[in-house]
Structure 1
Amino acid sequence: MTGPYILQPDPSVPGLSTTVSGIDQNGDPVETRVVTEKPLTLFLNSQEVVTMMTIGDHPDLLAVGYLKNQNMLADDDVITDIDFDDDLDVVIVRTERETDFEEKLKKKVRTSGCAQGTVFGDVMEGFDTVSLPREARLKTSWLYALTRTINTTPSLYLEAGAIHGCVLCEEDRPLVYMEDVGRHNAVDKIAGWMVLNDVPAHDKIFYTTGRLTSEMVIKTVMMGIPILISRSGFTAWGVELARQAGLTLIGRARGKRFVTLAGQDRIDFDMDPGHVEEEPDRNRRKGSVPAR
């Protein structure tokens, strides 16, 4: 039974999007919603780490998730405070343990993620040691229920587009839905929520609207989540890494259709696709409307 979200997008929040006037293909005036983006500079204690472009919601979750996914927060680190200054667009994560990542910050690799995602060079060293739970399962009835619920949830994507969404799920229940201009930011927000709420990963499913790239696979594996689903397609390296890590990788999940290229043994085919409706047109983005 599909339950309510713990956290989900709220397109009505002021500042996340704005109305812009223009003209359409016929030269007629139109008004359209566009997402906003602004810089957020992250500090870990006294060390400046990175400046990210983000829509600006949940800076605390984004900061903690980014640090966790970059291996800059250890499992035994204790976060003592998270300070956010809205005027300066600065977030500071403070820990009991003294940190110094000057050398680590020099060794980073730009990824294919939107908004210039980065991963630090030693993340791949930890990737090879992760063991994902083999007992995790995905029923196709859960998959169909999840895609139907997620794709009909009010979101900035449906209001304005130009944004990525990621959803943490358990069985057929979507739990936390985050959006941002870069899919890596949306992932990090969910990772931050899991850290701050001490949420286990072994029984979770991760859904993304974006491509199944190497970055998405690496972050999902490093978070300890055994199943990754997308409505979009794959990259070859993403598939290779998923197979190496034992991650179940499902793409092109729309309506009754999906393709699995890694970890097929976790899937229980408990529902006939013939009983699943195709995705309706109303799930597509609203787009521009005539100006009044």
Structure 2
Amino acid sequence: MFVSVKISRISIARNKIEFLPDSVAVEVFLKVFVNGKPYVTFLASPSMLKELIIGNLLSEGIISGLEEIEEIRIDNSKANVEILKNGETKEKLSGILPLYCTEGEINKLEKMTKGFRIESDFKIEAKALIESFKELHRKMSVFRITGCTHGAALANEEGKIVALAEDLGRHNAVDKVVGYAALKGLDLKSHALLTTGRVTPLLVLKAATVGIPVVCSSSAATLSSIRLAKAFNITLAGFVRGNRINIYANPQRITLSGQAEI
């Protein structure tokens, strides 16, 4: 399925009307069933759908590894997933975070997860991180022609991108790279997560659930996401643009050349 299509548009500029071709992003609704029960309906870009499903099951804490998936069948707008039945299907971790988070909800989450910390020796140089974002933006081919997608990627200690995905939704893009990493056998504890979308509490929770130690965005981070990153011992950075980085939590994993840590 195409991720973008050509259409015609009316352009008005400098008091002049023109009829021009344009490229717009395509979206699909994908209804997912787990063990025969409705699980989630994605509004997503029609690429890497298997990776999207796997990554979401992992980042939501429904499964802890690929070995728990018995079968995935995707047929147009419907997907059926069979997972090992260890008692009841695990409750979605994100269920404790409503769509609009309040301070009380974040306080509750911090108490529930007290003592849970990401332990990782992963480090990345600031220069390598900056270059990895430049590479991410260069490789976002759908965004380049439509201006309509978010990007997510995984970068190793050298700043090399080893997984990349685009999607209409920033969380979908993250789930896609998590699913790709699982299929390729990549260790998420040894990589940084890059995203072009703002960092939300849910995104930090997803990273914590799969053990990602560094979350970086070329956009902003919310106060609640910073609080959670500090609680989970996740390094959180935002506004990675040009030659700058804003670090909001646990800076020890982002290093400067010739220095052990910040």
TM-score class, shorter: 0.7 to 0.9
- Aligned twin of 1:18: 5
Report the AA paired with residue 53 of structure 1.
Answer: L
Aligned to 1:285: none
Residue of structure 1 in register with 2:216 after alignment:
229
Match of 1:220 in 2: 207
CA contact (8 A) 1:231 1:252 kept: yes
Mapped to 2, the partners of 1:103 and 1:241 lie a distance apart of: 20
> What is the 5 A alignment of 1:190-205?
190-205=177-192
Aligned to 1:169: 155
Q: 1:95 aligns with which of 83, 99, 116?
A: 83
Please list the CA deviations of residues 151-204 of structure 1 after superposition, one character each: whole Å capped at 9, or x if unmatched.
222421111012111001112110111111111111111222233333212211
Report whether the alignment pairs 1:141 with 2:127.
Answer: yes
Instruction: Encode CA deviations 1:262-288: one digit per residue, 9 max, x unaligned.
Output: 1112221118xxxxxxxxxxxxxxxxx
Asked if the contact 2:140/2:151 (under 8 Å) is kept, the reply is no
Which of these residues, 63, 67, 84, is aligned with residue 57 of structure 2?
67
Using the aligned pairs only, state the percent identity.
Answer: 26
How many pairs were matched up? 248
1:261 counterpart residue number: 248
| SS at structure 1 position matched to 2:190 | coil
Q: Whole-Å Cα distance in 2 between the matches of residues 234 and 104 of structure 1?
A: 23
The one of 38, 50, 53 aligned to 2:28 = 38
Amino acid at match of 1:90: K
Do the aligned partners of 2:59 and 2:207 also contact (CA within 8 Å) in 1?
no
Question: What one-letter code is carried by the residue in structure 2 that aligns with 1:227?
Answer: V
3-state SS in 2 of match to 1:72 = coil
Unmatched segments (≥5 aa) in structure 2: 102-107
Instruction: Mark the CA change 1:254 to 1:76 in structure 2 (over 3 Å): closer, same or farther.
Output: closer
Compute the TM-score of the two structures, normalised by the length of structure 1: 0.76
What corresponds to 2:174 in structure 1?
187
Look up the match of 2:105. Answer: none
Are the equivalent residues in 2 in contact too, given 1:112–1:213 (CA < 8 A)? no
Residues 1:130 and 1:92: Cα distance change in structure 2 (over 3 Å): farther
Higher RCO, Cα 8 Å, sep 6+: 1
1:96-123 CA-to-partner distances (Å, cap 9, x unmatched) read 3266449769x5644369xxxxxxxx98
Secondary structure at the aligned position of 1:241 is classed as helix
Task: Check whether the contact 2:226–2:249 (CA below 8 A) recurs between aligned residues.
Answer: yes
Across the aligned residues of Structure 1 and Structure 2, the Cα RMSD in angstroms comes to 2.7
Q: List alignment gaps of at least 5 residues for structure 1.
A: 1-13, 114-121, 272-292
Find 2:74's aligned residue among 75, 84, 109: 84
> Counterpart amino acid of 1:71?
G
The 1:131–1:228 alpha-carbon spacing in structure 2 relative to 1, beyond 3 Å, is same
Structure with greater helix percent: 2
Distance verdict in 2 for CA 1:138–1:60, change over 3 Å? same
